[in-house]
Amino acid sequence: MAIQQPPGGEGLTLQAVRDQLKLSVDTGSARNVGSDRADFVAQVLSVFFDSADVSWEYGEEGTGLGNLLSGPPVQSESIVSKTPLGEFDGALEQTLTESSDTVEAVAIGDGTVAYGSGDNTYLHDLSTGALEQTLTESGNTVRAVTIGDGKVAYGGYDNNTYLHDLSTGALEQTLTESFDTVRAVAIGDGKVAYGGDDNNTYLHDLSTGALEQTLTESFDTVEAVAIGDGTVAYGGGDNNTYLHDLSTGALEQTLTESGNTVNAVAIGDGTVAYGGFDNNTYLHDLSTGALEQTLTESGNTVYAVAIGDGKVAYGGDDNNTYLHDLSTGALEQTLTESGNPVNAVAIGDGTVAYGGYDNNAYVHSGVAGLLESGSTYEYRAVLEANGERREGQIRTFTTKS
């Protein structure tokens, strides 16, 4: 048996290893898997890795042996954050159904998934799906939700933006600069930004709530706001996407590829992405403004865009959520759980979440990319049998440069 390099030879993915090393023993049948099997696996892995210290756990007679690398490994410097690696698994992990109305916004961060709708803003544990908080400050539909820096912020039809402590749910700030519907909220770099029907984008200090900038380039409704890499971006009804220096407020770029209203903007990994009523999603280099990709999978209006974990995701009126490799633009997954238009998409903590007109929020697992060359990663074997889970010692392997 041999592990095959993926097409193009760009790198070995974790999924390729998992798919080609299905070394499991059926639960309930006694079978001795000796050290020769582990040695063989180590030899196979050594074709691609400079070192491979394979760890196994053995069940007692009548138990089953879990697949090698049954869970994604983590980078050695980020065990706690569980930085994901390998291909996008795509498995549906959670369907969150607390909302009794259309889900307008979704956010992921700090082990939490949040979504807002025609009633409240709900916070769930990302791993278990357990409801942790129901935030009810808004007196009307919630159009925007974001998580960052230990806070959750949301805004909507009551014209206000609310900031809560993510852990306790305590209300910390009510921002009232907007004199009309708030359609977009973002947190990043110690700031919170929001915009909406009054055509302005407001930038506040996240800790104090002090207003620092009022950005007025847009001459129509602001539908989307994003913060990242020292930049604040927004777009909307005037078809443009504006990029400002986050510290000074200076306008740095005006992106004009969209031929219609811009509904969504995202920043991440040196890229700014936006999409809207012209059905396309555009990816630009954040520093230069150069157009790098035009993604056209959607057959209808794009309402939501997200960047994270080396991916870009978007969804809209065709009911689907599309996941592309951020660098190459290659389509990797089409997620179809929603039976109605998708209003919101988020990527974070190794997951992608989306929600919309069917009132649900869906969470899928395993967003990640290729193993990087010349890097050291950690893994462990996992044994799950007879209702028990046993974890092997954390080991490391180093990919070839």
CATH number at residue 166: 2.130.10.10
Q: Are residues 309 and 348 both part of a single domain?
A: yes
Q: What angle do CA 33, 35, 36 make, to 5 degrees?
A: 90
Residue 185 resides in a domain: yes
331 in a structural domain: yes
> Are the beta carbons of 343 and 105 closer than 8 angstroms?
yes
The C-alpha angle with vertex 115 and arms to 178 and 315, in degrees rounded to 5, equals: 95
Closest by CA position to 264, among listed 303, 222, 212, 299: 303
Do the domain assignments include residue 182?
A: yes
Asked if residue 275 and residue 132 are part of one domain, the reply reads yes
Asked if 226 contacts 186 with a C-beta cutoff of 8 angstroms, the reply is: yes
Asked if residue 151 and residue 134 are part of one domain, the reply reads yes
Same domain, 338 and 386: no
Instruction: Say yes or no: 353 and 389 in one domain.
Output: no
Residues 41 and 98 placed together within one structural domain of the fold: no
Tokens of 245: 């220096």
Residue 93: the pLDDT is 86
Measured distance CA(158)–CA(163) in Å, rounded: 14
pLDDT for the residue 309: 81
What is the number of domains present in the chain? 2
What secondary structure does DSSP assign to 116-129, as a single string? EESS-EEEEETTT-
Which token pair is 52?
Answer: 């491979």
Q: Are residues 40 and 138 in the same domain?
A: no
Q: Are residues 103 and 246 in the same domain?
A: yes
Each residue's pLDDT expressed in tens, for the chain with a length of 401 residues = 333 333 433 444 444 444 444 333 222 222 223 333 444 444 444 444 444 443 333 333 333 333 333 333 333 322 222 233 333 457 788 999 999 999 999 999 999 999 999 889 999 999 889 999 999 999 899 999 999 999 999 999 999 999 999 999 999 999 999 999 999 999 999 999 999 999 999 999 999 999 999 999 999 999 999 999 999 999 999 999 999 999 999 999 999 999 899 999 999 999 999 999 999 999 999 999 999 999 999 989 999 999 988 889 999 999 999 999 888 898 988 999 998 999 999 998 878 999 999 999 999 975 444 445 556 555 544 444 445 555 554 555 555 45
Q: Cβ(282)–Cβ(268) under 8 Å?
A: no
Q: Are residues 129 and 249 in the same domain?
A: yes
Predicted confidence at residue 127, as pLDDT, reads: 84
Please give the Cα distance from 324 to 21 (Å, whole number): 26
- Is 1 part of a structural domain of the chain? no
If asked whether residues 318 and 255 sit together in one domain, one would say yes
Domain that includes residue 66, residue range = 7-85+371-399
Whether residue 172 is found in the same domain as residue 36: no
Instruction: Please check whether residue 217 lies inside any domain of the structure.
Output: yes
Provide the pLDDT for residue 17: 44
Whole-number Cα distances in Å, 401 to 50, 73, 373: 9, 19, 5
Is 135 a domain residue?
yes
Does pTM top 0.75 for this prediction?
Answer: no
On whether residue 45 sits in a domain, the answer given is yes
Name the residue type at position 248: T
Residue type, position 15, single letter: Q
For 156, half-sphere exposure in the C-beta direction (CA atoms, 13 angstrom radius) is 23
| Same domain, yes or no: 204 and 173 | yes
The closest alpha carbon to 366, from 31, 90, 113, belongs to 90
